[in-house]
Amino acid sequence: MKGMCRKTGKALDGVDHLKQSIRDIVFTSPETRVMRREYGCGLAALVDDALTPNRVVGVYSSIAAALDKYEPRLRVSRVYGEVINGGTFQINVEGYYKHNGKEIILVGIQL
C-alpha cells in the first residue's frame, strides 16, 4: 500500500507507511472522522484515568482491537508498553506483516 508522508508530503510505502497508519489509528478518536465515524482507537477517553494495571491492559486491548479492525496489512500478536524519559509512555507492537509474511516489531510509538 502506498500513501503520503503526513510531515513531508512525499510518497511513503512499506513499513514506513504501516508505522504512520498505526499512529493514525491509535491517535484518532472515534466519532471524529466524518465518513468513518467508528474509525480510531478511543485512547483519548482513557487519558485522565489513573495508570493502574487494569487500565494498562485496557489500553493494550483497545490498541490491539483497533489495529485488528483498521489495519489489514498487520496481524497483531502482542501490544505492550513501557515508561521512558520520566513519564512518557510508549507502546510497542508485534505481529506479522501480511505483505511479506514476516514477523515485525514496531517499537516506540509514543502516547
SS3 51: coil
For residue 69, the model assigns a pLDDT of 94
Query: Domains in the chain, start-ordered, CATH in brackets?
Result: 2-110 (3.10.450.40)
Would you say 8 and 20 are in contact if contact means Cβ atoms under 8 Å apart?
no
For residue 67, the model assigns a pLDDT of 95
Look at 23-37, 47-61, 95-109 and tell me which has the smallest mean pLDDT: 47-61
Q: How many CB atoms lie within 10 A of CB 12?
A: 20
Reported as a pLDDT band with limits 50, 70 and 90, residue 111 is low
For residue 104, the model assigns a pLDDT of 93
Element (H, E) at 90: strand 88-97
- Model confidence pLDDT, tens digit, residues 45-97: 776 777 778 888 888 899 999 999 999 999 999 999 887 777 677 889 999 99
Reported as a pLDDT band with limits 50, 70 and 90, residue 108 is confident
Sheet holding 74-84, edge to edge: 74-84, 88-97, 102-110
CA distance 18 to 106: 10
Look at 9-13, 45-49, 71-75, 102-106 and tell me which has the smallest mean pLDDT: 45-49
